Amino acid sequence: MTYATDRVWEEVAYVAYYLHWDLDKILDLEHPVREKVISEIGKIHTRLGGED
């Protein structure tokens, strides 16, 4: 299965924005791990009252 390039870039941008990780570090994550990181960032953002 291939993963949509646009979606990968959305995920990379999200993680980079919130965690300030570099591109290589984010792309080295396996997809399920990247999804979990994104989920956890979202939970933290929500708890802190963020709007997006």
Mean pLDDT of the chain: 91
Mind listing the pLDDT tens digit for each residue in 23-45?
Answer: 999 999 999 999 999 999 999 99
Q: Give the pLDDT score at 27.
A: 95
Rounded average pLDDT over 5-19: 94
Using only the alpha carbons of the chain, give its radius of gyration. 11
Q: What are the tokens at 3?
A: 């993963």
Sorted by where each begins, the domain ranges of the chain are 5-47
The pTM for the full model equals: 0.79
Q: Give me the pLDDT at residue 19, please.
A: 95
pLDDT at residue number 3: 72
